[in-house]
Amino acid sequence: MGEKLILAIESSCDETSAAVLLGTRVLSNEVVTQLQHTQYGGVVPEIASRAHQTMITAVVHAALKTAGKELHELEAIAVTQGPGLMGSLLVGISFAKSLSLGLDIPLVGVNHMQAHILAHLAEDCESKPTFPFLNLTVSGGHTQLVLVHSPVQMEVIGETIDDAAGEAFDKAAKVLGLDYPGGPLLDKMAQHGDAKKFTFPIPKVEGLNFSFSGLKTSLLYFLRDQQKVNSNFIEEERVNLCASFQHTVVTYLLRQVQRGLTSTQMNQIAICGGVSANSELRKQLTEFGKQNDVEVFIPPFKYCTDNAAMIGVAAHFLMHSDQYSNLNMVPLSRYPL
């Protein structure tokens, strides 16, 4: 089977994105991040779906233009089927269905979490893991250790029992007075801080699962106590608080990675999802790989946070294993791997 020219659409949360791919070769990857949510301190579903509806046509046009392709040249339409916000997913899916029907080309519904992992196989990723490998997915909604047997066979061997890693960063950032989404801002602040200045307890969860809510609470209580003594505590110590909190989260993620590698006997670890853009995680994981003789795969920044290119890469592999969708496809707010 030759490589197909794919138009991919991602609208599961607050990024409206479209990409054009030839097989796994990304010809364009347009991403519009909705800034309307900042003032509310979190994604407002109703606003997100409206914004997707407003933007999607322009974003798709931009993706085609950048790729130098016309609608009639497309051979498949890929779209995020879930997990995500129902109204947001509906926008992308309805758009994709219309194109599939109008152009008479196949439709491929994609699992967003599977796509985050398969982003590693985009042609322009410098080094690619080989199957099987262990993957740590760390995003705003998910924290999972996944044993990746093949592009279409993935096994979750550990996941969070409460908050996701990205959520922990965002919530910590919020109490430290940073705007939403706070993860990237906290990362930036942390670069000027002392990661050893404060210590927070590493969560105690047996096995390969994760928990972040205790860590969040310990930060909250610590700030409350310190502010009783010094009302400017957060302001004065913000960079050190960011660095120390980030250090704790990353140390914890790495400990679970180590456990996962031991229990699966894997010697390759890949990371993906928004939090894989975190500079401390990238640094510590690279170091960890060198010290433990483990191959580490970190995606380029453009494939860390939500993007349609990864949806296209996933669709490429789904088509190779004959997994197509049809016009009865429905969005899935929950969609296990």
Of these partners, ligand KG4, Zn ion, none, which one is at the site of residue 289 (CB under 5 to 8 Å by kind)? none
If one asks whether residue 273 binds ligand KG4 (CB under 6 A), the answer comes out as yes
If one asks whether residue 83 binds ligand KG4 (CB under 6 A), the answer comes out as no
Q: How far is the CB of 219 from Zn ion (least distance, A)?
A: 24
Output the six-digit token pair for 328.
Answer: 């009865």
If one asks whether residue 15 binds Zn ion (CB under 5 A), the answer comes out as no
Q: How far is the CB of 84 from ligand KG4 (least distance, A)?
A: 8
**Which one-letter DSSP state was computed for residue 120?**
G
Nearer to ligand KG4 among residue 166 and residue 260 (C-beta): 166
If one asks whether residue 277 binds ligand KG4 (CB under 6 A), the answer comes out as yes
Output the six-digit token pair for 258.
Answer: 């180590």
- DSSP string over 17-82: EEEEEETTEEEEEEEEE--TTGGGTS--HHHHHHHHHHHHHHHHHHHHHHHT--GGG--EEEEEEE
If one asks whether residue 170 binds Zn ion (CB under 5 A), the answer comes out as no
Strand 133-138 versus strand 25-33 pairing type? unpaired
Of these partners, ligand KG4, Zn ion, none, which one is at the site of residue 183 (CB under 5 to 8 Å by kind)? ligand KG4
Peptide bond into 106 cis (omega under 30): no
**How many beta carbons lie within 10 A of that of residue 160, not counting itself?**
21
If one asks whether residue 274 binds ligand KG4 (CB under 6 A), the answer comes out as yes
Of these partners, Zn ion, ligand KG4, none, which one is at the site of residue 82 (CB under 5 to 8 Å by kind)? none
Q: How far is the CB of 248 from ligand KG4 (least distance, A)?
A: 13
Residues 113-172 that bind ligand KG4 (CB under 6 A): 139-141, 166, 169-170
Nearer to ligand KG4 among residue 14 and residue 237 (C-beta): 14
Residues 265-324 that bind Zn ion (CB under 5 A): 306
Q: How far is the CB of 204 from Zn ion (least distance, A)?
A: 28
If one asks whether residue 187 binds ligand KG4 (CB under 6 A), the answer comes out as yes
If one asks whether residue 139 binds Zn ion (CB under 5 A), the answer comes out as yes
Nearer to ligand KG4 among residue 23 and residue 166 (C-beta): 166
Binding segment for ligand KG4 (CB under 6 A), chosen from 44-52, 121-129, 193-201, 273-281, is: 273-281
The footprint of ligand KG4 on this chain (CB under 6 A) covers a number of residues equal to 18
Peptide bond into 300 cis (omega under 30): no
Of 335, 311, 309, nearest to 107 by C-alpha is 311
Of 10, 96, 2, 65, nearest to 312 by C-alpha is 10
Residue type, 140: G
CB 180 within 8 A of CB 166: no
- DSSP string over 139-186: -SS-EEEEEEEETTEEEEEEEBSS--HHHHHHHHHHHTTPPSSHHHHH
If one asks whether residue 34 binds ligand KG4 (CB under 6 A), the answer comes out as no
Chain center to CA of 253: 15
293-296: which pairs have CB atoms within 8 A and are 24 or more residues apart? 293/267, 294/261, 294/267, 294/268, 294/269, 295/129, 295/267, 295/268, 295/269, 296/268, 296/269, 296/270
Nearer to ligand KG4 among residue 43 and residue 103 (C-beta): 43
Nearer to Zn ion among residue 181 and residue 203 (C-beta): 181
Which residues would be at the binding site for ligand KG4 (CB under 6 A)? 13, 139-141, 166, 169-170, 181, 183-184, 187, 273-275, 277-278, 305-306
Which residues would be at the binding site for Zn ion (CB under 5 A)? 139, 306
